[in-house]
Amino acid sequence: PRPLADRLARALPVTSYGRFLKARGLVPAETAGEPVTSIVEWKELAQDVRLHGSRCEACGLVQYPQTRVCIGCQARDRLVEHKLGKRGTVFTFTIDNLAPVAEHPLPMAVIDLEGGGRLYLQVTDAADGEVKVGAPVELTFRRLHEAGGNRNYFWKARPL
């Protein structure tokens, strides 16, 4: 955990009324499809919570999500589970003004991870204009949305 002084130094101003409402818990929860069963959650634990992808034994390519066929060399059933890095750089990004969230704009970025692999993630704790191609980021596990009465968490990228 980061010390309080570090957190305060990274504090961002509340730049919109939507952000203020969300920070105060006054925005209705978003809904997203059917609730997920505990069996599905258990099966996806390594991939979604521990952030494991696949590494091809034939060509060495690291990819996410886990698959049976390598996207690099098309080798079948030669992929092994591989723990992904928690730091990387922004490969490309977009600013989403239409996402069904209270906090607009919502930066989305493709992150090249240290050690291989690439993820498309929401960017969090970023000041306006802070997200740039080549910028270093770290992954942080955050609440994504609520659905079916459950809080859903996933990885987000945070600028360093």
Per-residue confidence at 30, pLDDT binned at 50, 70, 90? low
What is the sign of the dihedral through the CA atoms of 15, 21, 25 and 31? negative
Structure tokens that stand for 19 in this block:
């952000």
Q: Give the model confidence (pLDDT) of 61-74 as tens digits.
A: 999 999 999 999 99
Instruction: Classify 85-160 by CATH class.
Output: mainly beta
Beta carbons of 70 and 61 less than 8 angstroms apart: yes
Per-residue confidence at 123, pLDDT binned at 50, 70, 90? very high
Q: Per-domain residue ranges for the chain? A: 36-84, 85-160
Q: How many CB atoms lie within 10 A of CB 138?
A: 14
Q: Residue 128: name the closest of 107, 108, 112, 111 by CA.
A: 107
- Tell me the average pLDDT of the chain: 86
Q: Residue 30: name the closest of 113, 106, 125 by CA.
A: 106
Give residue 133's pLDDT: 97
